[in-house]
Amino acid sequence: MPGFELFGPSERKEVNDVLDNGILMRYGFDAMRNGHWKAKALETELQNEFKVKHAQLVSSGTAAVSVALAIAGVGAGDEVILPTFTFVASFEAVLMLGAIPVLVDIDDTLTLDVQAVKQAITSKTKAIMPVHMCGSMADLAGLKALCNSHNIKLIEDACQAIGGTYKGEFLGSYGDIGCFSFDFVKTITAGEGGAIITNNDEYATWADQFSDHGHDHVGSDRGAESHPYLGYNFRISELHAAVGLAQLRRLKDFIALQKKHYTIIKEALKAIPEIVFRTVPDGGEENYSFLSFFLPDLNTANKAMLKFKEVGIDGCFHYYNNNWHYVRRWEHLKEAKSLYPIAPHIKEALAELKTKEFKQSDHFIGRNISCLIKLSWSEAETKQRAAKMVEAIKSVL
Ligand SMILES: *Cc1c(COP(=O)(O)O)cnc(C)c1O
């Protein structure tokens, strides 16, 4: 997945444009910037690439999710449904707004289980946030139908799945709002950065304002602008946007390369009858950033990971034992370890979370291994790796 592997002359050129005039801020300084508007250019290219009306760049993927929730009107006491398998940013953003993260089981797609979501909806549910982990998506049509019938917003965290599609639409553009991350290890990187995309004009205006202290961006005197709403600073810098611009132009090539490497490894693993691959919903196409599969049980998955380590196969994750991505190890969340006092309704919800079991999620995550697909491998290296993986897995079955 990481675009940083192929950082090169095109990224350097865009950054040098910015360095040549020294205007590192995305707004204002019109006369001094020699026509370079990297953030604006990247927003326009994101709109064209993903066929949406609006894109708003922000400082990170976490900021993107936070802004998305804020403009969707999610706040104090509202509930947001999230998967148990995600990145910590998902609940961080929800908590920051004073809302309650409601964690829900995943299924064999490794993303939200629509039936479990249905059971978790209450009168307080304001948004459902599927997270397209490891390059693939949930049954988004099923989730959209639930959202429509309950008047709930669908916010896609597509931070790990940029360029993937669902029923002919790009991931991130299917729901009300989509979020991307351009942090250093994502499919395309800006160093740090993120974006939201939407077709909703009002959301676009609010995202533009909210991510810059509520500035309305009307006129050419920043100091004289009015502030229709409260906001924060989630701005991206021109330097970061410049890197992102060069990388977005390479996204199609990156995905083609990922698909090639993914296919070589998947074809090799098909020789092992005990392996079951992750389910990709009807009409979905992954972005091929990871290859995810299930082994027969937790014990075999543990043994396979040890074997991978022993024989030098890196970049594979067994999320069951991972403290970034799976509920089992989020002690800081379950214990509500906050540096500052948190609202009683959130404390209560987290105390309840601590007592919850997620047997269905454990069943899938316990058996799952997801392997990063790298851009920098040669075809020969990829084939060698595939053969080594087959051998390692066979030895523990
Ligand atoms: C990386 C990531 C984020 C957060 O992005 P940052 O840019 O690192 O803040 C959010 N959600 C998912 C699923 C991610 O993988």
Q: What is the pLDDT of residues 111-131, one digit of tens each?
A: 999 999 999 999 999 999 999
pLDDT of 321 over the 90 cut: no
- Regarding the beta carbon of 89 and ligand 1, being less than 6 Å apart is answered yes
Per the CB < 8 A criterion, the answer to whether 155 and 179 are in contact is: yes
Provide mean pLDDT across the span 222-237.
93
Q: Which helix (H) or strand (E) holds 169?
A: strand 169-170
Q: With cut-offs at 50, 70 and 90, classify the pLDDT of residue 3.
A: confident
pLDDT of 186 over the 70 cut: yes
Provide mean pLDDT across the span 46-72.
98
Q: Which two tokens stand for residue 393?
A: 């897995």
- Regarding the beta carbon of 155 and ligand 1, being less than 6 Å apart is answered no
Question: Which residue out of 133, 181, 184 has the highest number of ligand 1 atoms within 8 Å of its CB and is therefore the one to mutate?
Answer: 181
Would you state the pLDDT for residue 163?
98
pLDDT of 142 over the 70 cut: yes
Provide mean pLDDT across the span 309-314.
96
- Regarding the beta carbon of 61 and ligand 1, being less than 6 Å apart is answered yes
Query: Which amino acid is it at 185?
Result: V
Closest atom of ligand 1 relative to the 185 alpha carbon: 1
Q: For ligand 1, atom 5, name the residue with the nearest CA.
A: 61
Nearest by Cα to 241 from 42, 31, 5, 19: 42
Categorise residue 98: left if φ over 0, alpha if ψ from -120 to 50, beta otherwise.
Answer: left
Tell me the pLDDT of the chain averaged across its residues.
96
Strand partners, 157: 131, 179
Domains within the chain, CATH numbers bracketed: 3-250 (3.40.640.10), 252-396 (3.90.1150.10)
Q: Which helix (H) or strand (E) holds 173?
A: none
Give residue 86 CA to ligand 1 midpoint distance, Å.
9
Q: Give the whole-number percent of the chain exceeding pLDDT 70.
A: 100
pLDDT of 1 over the 70 cut: no
Q: For ligand 1, atom 3, name the residue with the nearest CA.
A: 61
pLDDT of 36 over the 80 cut: yes
Provide mean pLDDT across the span 310-334.
93
Q: With cut-offs at 50, 70 and 90, classify the pLDDT of residue 44.
A: very high
Q: Which two tokens stand for residue 59?
A: 């400082």
Pairing assessment for the beta strands 165-166 and 54-58 based on DSSP bridges: unpaired
Strand partners, 316: 371
pLDDT of 189 over the 90 cut: yes
Closest atom of ligand 1 relative to the 181 alpha carbon: 7
- Given strand 125-128, what is the order of strands in its sheet? 54-58, 194-198, 177-181, 153-157, 125-128, 79-83, 100-104
Confidence (pTM): 0.97
Provide mean pLDDT across the span 279-303.
98
Would you state the pLDDT for residue 220?
83
Q: Give the whole-number percent of the chain exceeding pLDDT 90.
A: 94
Question: Which residue out of 85, 160, 324 has the highest number of ligand 1 atoms within 8 Å of its CB and is therefore the one to mutate?
Answer: 160
- Regarding the beta carbon of 64 and ligand 1, being less than 6 Å apart is answered no
pLDDT of 223 over the 90 cut: no
Provide mean pLDDT across the span 339-366.
96
Q: What is the CA radius of gyration of the chain?
A: 21
- Regarding the beta carbon of 87 and ligand 1, being less than 6 Å apart is answered yes
Q: Which helix (H) or strand (E) holds 299?
A: helix 298-311
- Regarding the beta carbon of 159 and ligand 1, being less than 6 Å apart is answered yes
